[in-house]
Structure 1
């Protein structure tokens, strides 16, 4: 095997890759295909809001061993609040809503619930992850793999995200490069011999369909009523979830 000359030697190793894994169809299809191509991410990060659907938590028991068998590192991170408007301290989106007597930000027209409980804990973890620290010291950006597919809905989300310039990260969207939509991801998961995961979302997200709400277990439905009742005195522009 020929030895590379000094001019041909790379200046430094490639930047590490991190998959933002929401345990949904798109990100699972992306994970499976990357592994099959011999390009698994260096790290898979899942942010647990504390109110993921029960079936989503159950799917972790399926995909976790699958990743472990392939030597793919998987970490689950959670938001750790430091300042509290009210007492007692809360550590999940549900506890925040009940403690503060409010609804998730998305129900009120915002998006900070997803930023605070998904992106922020991943950012915090990566700041302590040695491969990221080393890459930044070399002047590189860490590559974050995002599961936006090529369907119409994610095309809108991608157009917004593409405008954001991040000093620490380069964002890649392989599903869009491959022209894969949600159905293509589901087929790839099935071809791997894995069950297709449920749609990933919090179980009291306003983006859920009526059927998804009906499919929730009774204890989730009882908590939905409690969250709305607790927030009702403070609501002025919406009636509930």
Structure 2
């Protein structure tokens, strides 16, 4: 028996996949949400998943699994916890360099790919018998499909592309189901967040925004202690501290785009 799942991100596209599956228009019953941490996922996404997606899935005979990264000790590790652990020098997020370029990203690999992959392998997926993993990438962001990493134990498919659906079509599907619209899903401190989203966070969720500013400062303090103070890092591509970048911004930068791996923001 084949293992068919949806990689659920808590955003518009993957929620549309859930509605289509509930309507019997897609052959999926299992949805996997890799939670990077109660302190790391955007609180609005976690609220949507728990208050909207979980009850909806249950009411329509779908299985939505919320997966955590679990260490050998049995302890749950979060992305925030890894970065802020005392003495930690880890920079697993794609932090921005002074020139605006993102650094190496380990967050997707460790907290999304490995977590989901562990569940798939535990449930029988292998290179000989790969699981079919449906990803919510819509037609208007088709370039993201070619950037999604594929593992030997999975066969990735894109139902929204097959159906010729755009983001607006996904929003219509969700609205027709009587569900509230999901927020954009990503870690609340993600350096790939558009500048306009940072401005919205400062306006609507100032406590979370200033917590992100404090994180940026703490990461640079660690680098200074590590002898790398001459090469600061930032949460935006502007080459300046987050608070100054937002204060200086008049509008979202048109070239500031989000994660294209297909794991987040779906």
What is the TM-score normalised by the length of structure 1?
0.79
1:105 — aligned with what?
93
Is residue 178 of structure 1 aligned with residue 167 of structure 2? no
Partner deviation per Cα, 1:59-90 (whole Å, 9 max, x = no partner): 1111110100011111111112459xxxxx88
Task: List alignment gaps of at least 5 residues for structure 2.
Answer: 96-101, 236-266
Which range moves more in the overlay, 216-225 or 21-30? 216-225
2:77 — aligned with what?
91
Bigger radius of gyration among the two: 1
Which of 5, 11, 25 is the matching residue for 2:12? Answer: 25
1:65 — aligned with what?
55
Deviation at 1:187, TM superposition (A): 1.2
8 Å contact from structure 1 (residues 56, 197) kept in 2:
yes
Greater helix percent: which structure? 1
8 Å contact from structure 2 (residues 10, 33) kept in 1:
yes
8 Å contact from structure 1 (residues 101, 227) kept in 2:
no
- SS of corresponding position for 1:183: helix
Deviation at 1:206, TM superposition (A): 1.5
What is the TM-score normalised by the length of structure 2?
0.72
8 Å contact from structure 2 (residues 6, 32) kept in 1:
yes
Aligned residues: 214
In structure 2, distance between residues paired with 1:210 and 1:180? 27
- SS of corresponding position for 1:239: coil
RMSD: 2.4
8 Å contact from structure 1 (residues 20, 27) kept in 2:
yes
1:145 — aligned with what?
134
Task: List alignment gaps of at least 5 residues for structure 1.
Answer: 1-12, 84-88
In structure 2, distance between residues paired with 1:136 and 1:117? 20
2:187 — aligned with what?
202
